[in-house]
Amino acid sequence: MKSNNNINVYSFLEKITPLIAVMFALLVGAIVILIIGEDPIFVYKVLFSNALGSKVGWGNVLFRSTPLIFTGLTVAFAFRCGLFNIGGEGQMYIGTFFATWVGFTFTNLPSFLLIPLCIIAAATGGALWAAVPGILKAKSGVHEVIVTIMMNWIAASLTFYLVLQFKAPPTEAMKAAGVKQMIPHTREIAEAARLPRIYHLLKSINIDFPSYVQANVSFFIAIAVAMLVYYILWKTNLGYEIRAVGYSPLAAEYGGINVSRNIVLAMVISGALAGLVATNEVMGFKYRWRQELFTGYGFNGIAVALLGKNHPFGVVLAAILFGVLNYGGAIVNIFTGGRIPRELIMVLQAVIVIFVVISDEIVKRIIRKRRKTA
Amino acid sequence: MLGNIFNADFFASSIRIAIPLALAGLGGVVSEKSGVINIGLEGMMLTSAFTVVAVTNFSQNPWIGVLSAILIGIVLGLIHAVTSITFRANQIVSGVAINLFASGITVFLAWLFFNETQIMAVKNLPVWGLSIPAPGEGSSVVRSFIVIFLHHSPLVFITVIIFALAHFILFKTPFGLRIRSVGEYPEAADTMGVNVIKMRYLAVITSGALAGLAGSFLSLEQAHFFVKEISGGRGFIALAAMIFGKWTPLGTAGAALLFGFGEALSIRLQGVLAIPVQFINMVPYVLAIFVLVSAIGRATPPAADGIPYEKEVG
Amino acid sequence: MPEIVLEMKNITKRFPLVVANDKVNFSVYKGEIHALVGENGAGKTTLMSILYGLYQADSGEILINDKKIRITNPNIAIKLKIGMVHQHFMLVPPLTVTENVILGMEPKKNNIFIDIENATKKVKEISEGIGFKIDPNAKIESISVGIQQRVEIIKVLYRGAEILVMDEPTAVLTPQEVEELFGILNSLKKQGKTIIFITHKLNEVQAISDRITVMRRGKVVGVKKTSETNKEEIASMMVGRKVIFKVKKNEHNFGKNVLKVSKLNALNNKGLPALKDISFEIKEGEILGIAGVEGNGQTELVEVITGLRKAKSGKISIYERNITNDSPREIKEEKIAHIPEDRRQRGIISQFNVSENLILGSHYDKPFNNGMSLNLNIINKHADKLIKEYDIRPSDKDNLLKSLSGGNQQKVIVARELFGNPIILIAAQPTRGLDVGSIEFVHQQIINERDKNKGVLLVSADLDEILSLSDRIAVIYEGKIAAILDPKKTNQKELGLLMTGSVQNKKTNLEEVKK
């Protein structure tokens, strides 16, 4: 009975460690804000009230969470197969470029064809990019961590090259002013390839929502994908095999599971998930591909996955939390006249990660102490 | 044409490109020989690259800048040690966290102190080596020799000394023997009275210091400025060099020179062949992947690499 | 009255799930060889780890030469002249013999560098002092297990140990090597050293020890003079009940060939030949035991048969069907059950629960899988059924395998592998590290399969197990079958000689192969 109680305490503590980690990170953030000479209570009030206190806030939070759900799932899925895919950034680059290219190339297609086609292109791009480290890992045993990072930088150069090949022609206004594109970008994708905003959906059922909020249908795609990932991992043969390989490749091999095949598959699916960022960033927001070195979604996906304990539903919650921090952080930056750089949020994310990873061990030690004294 | 590419300046620049890779790679060697994977090298380099420029600009003394950068490397090494050794966290995750932290904190502080993300270094280290003779002075062989080997930042010479020291410490001293044993079979070392935790802490902190020096060279001596993400994956390329160098200091130095050579060559070729600059930029990363693939089967990592040491089981 | 050199009083040590030592009292006389016996998990190793400073006791005290001391780390133990030879050798494979010996106590020259010449000389001196030669510059990974053990002893003596703790030192040795070890121990005893000998092999206790302390479930249940007791008494003290030493096995006739291996060649992980022209066959209702010193190709043999390693040449067939180099899944589908040697790495997925582990290998097939998704309902029912049938404890199918004892983990493996009526059972080291109860259970299952006319391949380093279960014994030495023997006409000594290559050209003692 006693040990049963302890197991309950343990599983409870384990479940709330992400919360404790977040609290701790906010505390560290408060200290940093104090050092800068600002008032942490005021800053956090601005941050949370703006992010959560209105439709605009919520809309923006969901908009910012969406890519993080995809990249968080990217990391979590690979992790279930024992792989560290920290190349979500590069896979996202290639996937979004593929989707954009389809979007501005097949402009004659109707929506019901073009939208799925763009989504498939996005997934394919990410999958292809992740297949390289996957195959190298499966066939030659090259550690995926270094390869995925290298692939990020290669993707950055490759997409830079590609965007110059498909550069949008200068607009009339630019011609008149005699300026060039500051940041290289492609032509816009066809209207038919664009996803409706939440504003459009709510308008159709007569609910008021600000039209300028960029939250779009992609958020719902992300939720559906998270559910699909859950189903694959825990309810299918593929998921069983991927998890078996992740926990013990030797036992999986013994159980007749093709380890190499599952490693490649897990990477490919993981990369496809990263590519799906295109639904939010290209099909739902910018409608084009812009050269911006490392938006950070891929990397922040790592933090999201860890905070979400590599579980698809945890990932969704963690992504929403990071959406709150990102959007609130941007507002704080404006509110304080730039005195609090928004990169503070990145620092907080790193602190969250560190604390999440050490919290498991802390919980274990607490339990061990309790058992001993019991 | 070949003469235009493979001249003295080419070899000198190969060496300069190799220095940060070699130093960070040595950091990887020291850490992994003790059994701790350190992919936080990238973030440690980045943070140090910022620190050296910031402190140099404030203090007007590049040496203080370099020392501060090393100190920051040590602090980050200490964080990695606490999470991955004391708290036995996954070492890769801990390294990733350090990289995330570095990306955030450098830009954060750059905005805070300088209001921009590209900061010029107001001073550099004085050149310790011989200065290059003016054209026409001395023979061309002497001139080339000076350009390649003797006209360098002090950090180049310090790097050479560090590598010689590292080799002897790792393979000829009790300390080195203990580090190696801790990375291969910590339980065995423990029963022989070797303090596994202490050894690993020392190794990881040393690797932080080396990454700090690597970052210093990168911004202060090579680029003469700091810019966001200046490390550009070099921490990871350094790890590829470490693997290619079979986890030895001299092997890593050789592999770093190979990378330096490859990158310098690709920069030179840019002027000669009509290859888009973006493809030239890919060279070091593609090279790293090839190097990793070719290293497979040739080298095995320390047996306990990446495995946290847990004494009390039961 | 002999002089007491070491006394441990009221030692208690708790681990999260068990009390490993419960108020243990243990004392040793100077210059004796003292056997510390008990089953796996009785707390012997924990007690000695406390003595050596690897663990701290929760309560109790340690006296050496009547002086109360605290041993908080191995350094203190070493200073107190206590040395330990661990069950799993504490040697760093890529380092040399000398480097391993001096680790932690390196002689220096110029106060900086290791004085390797001096150290090498010292290693030679010590080894010759107890009567054997060793190459101090050889790397550990290139020397045999028997020699490695000597390095361990040199290591301990280099540190000036007066009390030597030997944890299950004979587990990895051949009978001949055991005799040599006993020679070394006796010469150490003559030099006045005290030796604590941990074991559960009672023959050895009789052969070498002066006194015996028996432990059971963390407690000391008795201390005896070896000359005043016998094997049966010690055994029942160890287990707490009478133990049957013989496995009951009925005579019966064998059937057709089930498994046939001919001229099989394969490489080991280092790319060197591990199997050299191995040929044998197993008949229905027959247990073929493979005896050999570990590392002579047994692991590779089992892996090649089960598809986990590629054969270079040769042929494996089941009832004439060629299965050479088929995938593990294809071979499993031929109804081969496999209890793997490495239980924790191969046999189970410790982070999966019982029901998930019980379908490993058949998870992709009906009835557990219907096309796309897993049939969780059937999987759970299957688990409940097997848990009951094999008495797996605790009986909750949602428990992660890592929370089960070794014996119950092995039950999960046996239950899974024997399900679905296999035609061949391959059991590699099936009872290693198990308690007596689980060993009896596993032995019974193996006999049952035999009696159901299945073919059984039993690989074991435990010669008692091989001798008592097998219908025929194949001795493997350096990747070759050195001999095929009738267990009734051989003994441990002969097997030991064949296993070490000391006797060759003895092909068989079987007069005829029973049809």
Give chain B positions within 8 Å (CB) of C84. 191
Q: What is the pLDDT of residue B313?
A: 45
Q: What are phi and psi of C78, to 5 degrees?
A: -65, -40
Which pairing describes strands C211-216 and C219-225: parallel, antiparallel, or unpaired?
Answer: antiparallel
For residue range C369-417, list pLDDT tens digits in order: 988 889 999 999 999 999 999 999 888 999 999 888 888 999 999 999 9
Give chain C positions within 8 Å (CB) of B174. 106, 108, 114
- Those residues whose C-beta lies under 8 Å from the C-beta of residue A277, and which sit 6 or more positions away, are A67, A70, A71, A92, A95, A96, A122, A297
- Are the C-beta atoms of C266 and C476 separated by less than 8 Å? no
Question: Which of A162, A343, A349, A366 has the highest number of chain B CBs within 10 A, making it the mutation to test binding with B?
Answer: A343
Count CB pairs under 8 A between chains A and B: 130
For residue range B43-86, list pLDDT tens digits in order: 999 999 999 999 999 999 999 999 999 999 999 999 999 999 99
Question: b/e map of B13-49 (b: 16 or more CB within 10 Å)?
Answer: bbbbbbbbbbbbbbbbbbbbbbbbbbbbbbbbbbbbb
Which pairing describes strands C82-85 and C163-167: parallel, antiparallel, or unpaired?
Answer: parallel
Question: Which of B173, B177, B195 has the highest number of chain C CBs within 10 A, making it the mutation to test binding with C?
Answer: B177
- Are the C-beta atoms of C43 and C20 separated by less than 8 Å? yes
Interface of C with A (CB under 8 A): 14, 16-17, 58, 306, 308, 327-329, 332, 338, 340, 342, 345-352, 356, 360-361, 363-364, 369, 372-374, 376
Question: Which of B169, B185, B190 has the highest number of chain C CBs within 10 A, making it the mutation to test binding with C?
Answer: B185
Q: Tell me the C-alpha to C-alpha distance, in Å, between residue B303 and each of B186, B208, C368.
A: 10, 22, 38
Q: What are phi and psi of C82, to 5 degrees?
A: -105, 130
Q: Do A294 and B97 touch (CB under 8 A)?
A: no
Token representation of residue A104: 């501005």
Q: Quick one: CA dihedral A96, A98, A103, A109, positive or negative?
A: negative
Distance CA C297, CA C264 (A): 11
Q: Tell me the C-alpha to C-alpha distance, in Å, between residue B263 and each of A157, B18, B220, C237.
A: 15, 9, 19, 73
Residue of C nearest to B302 (CA): C94
Q: Do C20 and B185 touch (CB under 8 A)?
A: no
Q: Do B100 and A141 touch (CB under 8 A)?
A: no
Q: What is the pLDDT of residue C370?
A: 85
Min mean pLDDT across B210-214, B263-267, C169-173 is at C169-173
Q: What is the pLDDT of residue C235?
A: 81
pLDDT at position C15 over 50? yes
Q: Do A256 and C348 touch (CB under 8 A)?
A: no
Q: Tokens 């932080």, residue?
A: B208
Give chain A positions within 8 Å (CB) of C372. 236-237
Q: Do A237 and C374 touch (CB under 8 A)?
A: yes
Determine how many CB atoms are found less than 10 A away from the CB of residue C507: 11
Q: Do A349 and B104 touch (CB under 8 A)?
A: yes
Q: How far is B311 from chain A (nearest CA, A)?
A: 13
Arithmetic mean of pLDDT over chain C: 90
Give chain B positions within 8 Å (CB) of A151. 285, 289
State the amino acid at position B124 in one-letter form.
Answer: N
Give chain B positions within 8 Å (CB) of C16. 314
**Nearest Cβ partner for A251 among C306, C348, C374:** C348
Q: From C495, C41, C35, C476, select the one nearest C274 (Cα to Cα).
A: C476
Determine how many CB atoms are found less than 10 A away from the CB of residue C457: 25
Q: Which chains touch A (3 or more CB pairs under 8 A)?
A: B, C
**Nearest Cβ partner for B192 among C55, C104, C108:** C104
Q: How far is A304 from chain C (nearest CA, A)?
A: 23
- Are the C-beta atoms of C258 and C457 separated by less than 8 Å? no
Give chain C positions within 8 Å (CB) of A368. 16
Q: Do C346 and A250 touch (CB under 8 A)?
A: yes
**Better pLDDT: B3 or A331:** A331
> For the residues C258-282, what does the mean pLDDT come to?
94
Token representation of residue B37: 């994977």
Token representation of residue A357: 């990873």
- Are the C-beta atoms of C351 and C400 separated by less than 8 Å? yes
**Better pLDDT: B99 or A337:** B99
Q: From C250, C241, C234, C181, select the one nearest C33 (Cα to Cα).
A: C181
Give chain B positions within 8 Å (CB) of A306. 93
A217 touches chain C (CB under 8 A): no
Distance CA C333, CA C323 (A): 11
Distance CA B308, CA B187 (A): 11
**Nearest Cβ partner for C75 among B181, B188, B193:** B193
**Nearest Cβ partner for A368 among C16, C356, C372:** C16
Q: What is the DSSP string of C243-264?
A: ---SPP-------SEEEEEEEE
Q: From A171, A166, A185, A157, select the one nearest A287 (Cα to Cα).
A: A185
Q: Do C346 and A251 touch (CB under 8 A)?
A: yes
For residue range C130-144, list pLDDT tens digits in order: 888 899 999 999 898
Q: What is the pLDDT of residue C504?
A: 63
**Nearest Cβ partner for B100 among A136, A149, A303:** A303
Q: Do B314 and C105 touch (CB under 8 A)?
A: no
Q: How far is A269 from chain B (nearest CA, A)?
A: 21
Q: Tokens 């991955």, residue?
A: B84
- Are the C-beta atoms of B216 and B65 separated by less than 8 Å? yes
Which pairing describes strands C67-69 and C19-29: parallel, antiparallel, or unpaired?
Answer: unpaired
Q: Do C93 and B174 touch (CB under 8 A)?
A: no
Distance CA A78, CA A265 (A): 9
Distance CA C371, CA C374 (A): 8
Q: Do A244 and C360 touch (CB under 8 A)?
A: yes
Q: How far is C328 from chain A (nearest CA, A)?
A: 5
Distance CA B223, CA B17 (A): 10
Give me the tens of pLDDT residue by residue for chain A, a chain 374 residues long.
344 555 566 677 777 888 888 998 899 999 989 998 889 999 999 999 999 999 999 999 999 999 999 999 999 999 999 999 999 999 999 999 999 999 999 999 999 999 999 999 999 999 999 999 999 999 988 999 999 999 999 999 999 999 999 988 888 888 888 777 778 899 999 999 999 999 988 988 888 888 889 999 999 999 999 999 999 999 999 999 999 999 999 999 999 999 999 999 999 999 999 999 999 999 999 999 988 755 789 889 999 999 999 999 999 999 999 999 999 999 998 988 888 888 888 888 888 888 888 887 788 777 777 766 65
pLDDT at position C514 over 50? no
For residue range B142-161, list pLDDT tens digits in order: 888 888 888 888 999 999 99
Q: What are phi and psi of A68, to 5 degrees?
A: -70, -30
Token representation of residue A76: 């979590």
Question: Which of B103, B243, B283 has the highest number of chain A CBs within 10 A, making it the mutation to test binding with A?
Answer: B103
Task: Kindly tell me the number of DSSP H helices and DSSP E strands found in chain C.
Answer: 16, 24
From first CA to last CA, the distance across chain A in angstroms is: 12
Q: How far is C13 from chain B (nearest CA, A)?
A: 11
Q: What is the pLDDT of residue C203?
A: 83
Residue of A nearest to C348 (CA): A251
Q: How far is A356 from chain B (nearest CA, A)?
A: 9
- Are the C-beta atoms of C296 and C459 separated by less than 8 Å? no
pLDDT at position C85 over 80? yes
Q: Given pLDDT bands bounded at 50, 70 and 90, which one contains residue C190?
A: very high
Question: Which run of H or E residues covers position C276?
Answer: strand C273-283
ipTM confidence score: 0.90
Question: Which run of H or E residues covers position B175?
Answer: helix B174-184
Q: Quick one: CA dihedral A151, A157, A163, A165, positive or negative?
A: negative
Question: Which of C13, C355, C373 has the highest number of chain A CBs within 10 A, making it the mutation to test binding with A?
Answer: C373
Please tell me whether residue C219 adopts helix, strand or coil conformation. Answer: strand
From first CA to last CA, the distance across chain B in angstroms is: 69
Q: Do C349 and A247 touch (CB under 8 A)?
A: yes
